[in-house]
Structure 1
Amino acid sequence: MKRRQFLAGTTAGLAVGAAGCVDSFTSLDGVSYGREPELVADRPAAIYYPTHTEEMAMGGMAQTDDGLAVSLAYTFPHRFWRVFKREGRYEAEQFSVDGDDAIHIMANIWDAETGVVLPVSSVDIAARGGNNVDERETVYPMLSQRMGFHYGDNYHLDGDDTYTVNVTVGATTATRFGGFEGRFDKPQTVTINLDYSEAARNELAYETYEDRQGDPGALSPMRMEMNGMAMPTGSVRDLGGTQLGTGRADDIRYAAAVLTDDRFGDAPYLAVTAATRYNELVVPSMGLAGTLTDSNGETVVESTSLEPSLDPELGFHYGAVVPGATGEETATIDVTTPPQVARHEGYETAFFETPTVELD
């Protein structure tokens, strides 16, 4: 496929919905931007209501030998944002729709038994069919208000057909516990037949939000189901253990707990979740460090890196072994790197601070 053209600026992409039909439009420079209305002029540096949503067409589902469920869906191609570091600061850059983009393809990856999403892998999508289409692309990890965490990109298809789509889920980079130990450690590929027609795509419903676009807040996640199976949106889970409190900064809610379950080893384990302020969706691809102090202000655990981790009960979280911790401490979380995940509209201006958050 082509490499993406992108536009400088800080902003993000889409969701899903219903109502109406809006024609595609083309800018003065000849670049098509699908059915999207103009962005809100003064977007807050926070989570906000997007301009619109578009319905999704469900494309198919398969399961890997390792028990991962993989689903495909698509909608109109649309703008989205990736995070880059420029001159010492992080910012979002808008990716435009290329002239040969036919769809925005979305892959959901989760453990079929527990419903835990995997925001710590690479995903390649290869499609064959239509008018000699034979494309392979590594798609981006993304956050959407309606879908939560998923993998996606604008994609080239040419001609109505049932496309053969191979989805390769790479080995996870996360630390794994319990029933996840020894799993997800090698690439696995599934094949899904994706029925596509331009006419069906053009009939996908579309809804705008003129009355609240740009306001602080977020749309509710949609219920997604395929082949009778509900697809998770990646909400954070209760940590259990001894709770250390919660805190919020830059529209991310942090929670922490100390656990002593055998699956975490002989020493206590510090688990931290990072979730969107609204709807509590997991926020991956961050750099976090944790410090624990006792009631006298003495440091029990020096600032220690919290590693991306997967657990059947806790789900995706950030964690570290913390010898000497009792669960009576005060936890402080340092954001060392803001989320590097790509964003749909409504998230692209948020999550760029690197605060220190004391939990209570």
Structure 2
Amino acid sequence: MTVLPSVAVVILNWNGKAFLERFLPSVCASVYGNLSIYVADNASTDDSLDYVASVFPQVKIIRNATNSGFAGGYNEALRHVEADIFVLLNQDVEVEPNWIAPVIEQMQQDPSIAACQPKMRAYHQRDSFEYAGAAGGWMDILGYTFCRGRILYLTEVDKGQYDNPQDIFWATGAALFIRSRCFFEVGGFDPYFFAHMEEVDLCWRLQRAGYRICYCPGSTVYHVGGGSLPQGNPRKLYLNFRNNLIMLCKNLHFQEQWIILSQRHFLDLLAAFKSLVSGKPKDMLAIFRAYRDYYKWRRHEEKKVRDVFPRKRLYDLQGVFHGIMIWRYYFLHKKTFTELWKPKKK
């Protein structure tokens, strides 16, 4: 008889009692034969842990001493979890009973699959893909991230157009299945990121280490999104710009760095100018702060990077669009992934 891999669902919580009340029951109703469930708490000040302990005694609790964000919080919590596969699940995600088995089956077919994500639909528009992951994360040659089913802020209705398993560049951190040994092999999340882009950076390092990142359409979860920082928040914009730049500096092949980063600097300057003329000066300042802290990172933190895996050219990685996404979107009006990406016929 085949032994089921042990799976640990780990929900990172920070003052999320309302989310836990709404969504933890669906997680506890998950059907899988070798499952443990954890709530890892980032020093909450509400009574969310009292609620979990009293209503869901089967759920294990991990108490982090401080709130070190998504990246640091999971790094600390996962040291206390033993399982073959970790499932990092946002506190604002509703799951279906059989959401785990299809992903595990897909990962078991190939040991080189280090990480995998289910289909992400929007909780409030259940037939539509959700921003944070949709049907799998991609990246263009300038480091801009997007998804099958979501380009920039435009999400598609799920009509089965992405119901094929596929290698992707990054798997969403909102529902990330990852082999525990692979997580620790590449050093986990970069704690400097705090939040946003940390899962893209992690998946990039996994690909550099020779692993695959995949999307599993046989599993569907429903994500509220914006539970910590909503879209349009200047703090979110700051973290996305800063962390994206740091990620590129850490992972790009050295022969690609100058040309890609120089183009990004120019386009990000245009984005800041657009924010100003659009009456959003706080967004412009967030972009400038991101660049200030990116250069501060390069002076003081870059030398601390654990760079043990070979840097590969973007063209050699899976889930990379060999073009500029924002050019196709704004100037060629390619608004969906199927319009943007048309594979060459064999």
The two structures have a TM-score, normalised by structure 1, of: 0.25
Higher helix share: 2
* Structure showing greater relative contact order (alpha-carbon pairs closer than 8 Å, 6 or more residues apart): 1
Computing the radius of gyration from Cα coordinates, the structure with the larger value is 1
Higher strand share: 1
The two structures have a TM-score, normalised by structure 2, of: 0.26
